[in-house]
Amino acid sequence: MKRTRIIQIILFSFLFQFSNAQSLHKTEKYEIAKDRLLYTVGYAHIDTEWNWDYPTTINEFIPKTMTENFSLFEKYPDYVFNFTGSRRYQMMKEYYPELFIKVQEYVKQGRWYVSGSSVDEGEVNISSSESLIRQILYGNDFFRKEFGKESLDYMLPDCFGFLCNLPSVFNHCGILGFSTQKLTWRSAVEIPFNVGVWNGPDGKGVIAALNATDYTGSIETRLDKNPKWIERLNENQKKSGYAFDYRYYCVGDKGGSPRAKDIKNVEASLRNKDSNFKVLLTSSDQMYKDITPEIRKKTSCLFW
């Protein structure tokens, strides 16, 4: 009897750990070529390239980013989080090893996504092409070693300006997509398109989400019925024949997590029978993975 009880405890422990290793996040079935879709990317921005010294980042912003999201994962079953910059993950591993192990577990579960491919959300105007290539090489190398994952996008929500060679560099590094919200800050050339193909001088390029909204943006009540997004999807469909788009919802510039009310609102926008479009809570690179070569040919094209 005692032996049987021990076996039961061991079996229960194994099953509990196995069930916890599975993703609680259930993605709604969709077809990008047919459905009306809004890819919604939960994220937190840290300005490690601007205003904060390393002690502040390490002592305040890095632990806050981990612990706040751990709590939200437990409260909101559909919530997923994206975070960029391999050196920030290195800080987690060095200064908070126990919390870093939890990050690794949430990455396995599909709740936390390594994003942006790079070492940091770095400056791209003065930096050489070699520097950008190293950002991606070292960034994704770290992600593969520590998480068994890699990112296929480059996120630069808060960089002032993008050179014409960027899409060529990204393409030759195997990157599929690029996103920013900075063109909404009084761009000299306005915003060429919401989502389209951005090609470099050599004709190689990436899918670009050039109007990813405000990186401190909130989620409106019933996002799936919001007139602004209905109009944007309609515009996209007129231009390309496809009704999908991409947006951030997040906080900046001190890390952390999206606001709880925004997560509540986005969860309330899921799987409603009267939705005008499907809201997806996704990784920052999922849309780029979904776009087929046929769809890519029909999207707007920018060439310098």
What radius of gyration, in Å, describes the C-alpha atoms of the chain? 20
Higher local confidence (pLDDT), 159 or 178? 178
What is the model's pLDDT at position 223?
Answer: 97
What is the model's pLDDT at position 182?
Answer: 86
Q: pLDDT tens digits, residue range 86-130? A: 999 999 999 999 999 999 999 999 999 999 999 999 889 999 999
**What are the Cα distances from residue 233, in Å, to 7, 243, 283?**
56, 5, 20
Reported as a pLDDT band with limits 50, 70 and 90, residue 7 is very low
Q: How many CB atoms lie within 10 A of CB 4?
A: 8
User: Which residue is it, tokens 């290539």?
Assistant: 133
Instruction: For residues 73 and 170, give the distance between their C-alpha atoms in angstroms, rounded to a whole number.
Output: 32
Multiple choice CATH, 27-303, 3.30.230.10, 2.60.120.10, 3.40.50.300, 3.20.110.10: 3.20.110.10
What is the model's pLDDT at position 301?
Answer: 55
Higher local confidence (pLDDT), 17 or 196? 196
Instruction: For residues 41 and 249, give the distance between their C-alpha atoms in angstroms, rounded to a whole number.
Output: 6
Instruction: For residues 127 and 98, give the distance between their C-alpha atoms in angstroms, rounded to a whole number.
Output: 35
Q: pLDDT tens digits, residue range 242-298? A: 999 999 998 878 999 999 999 999 999 999 999 999 999 999 999 999 999 999 887
Q: Which two tokens stand for residue 92?
A: 């987690």
Q: pLDDT tens digits, residue range 197-229? A: 999 999 999 999 999 998 788 898 999 999 999
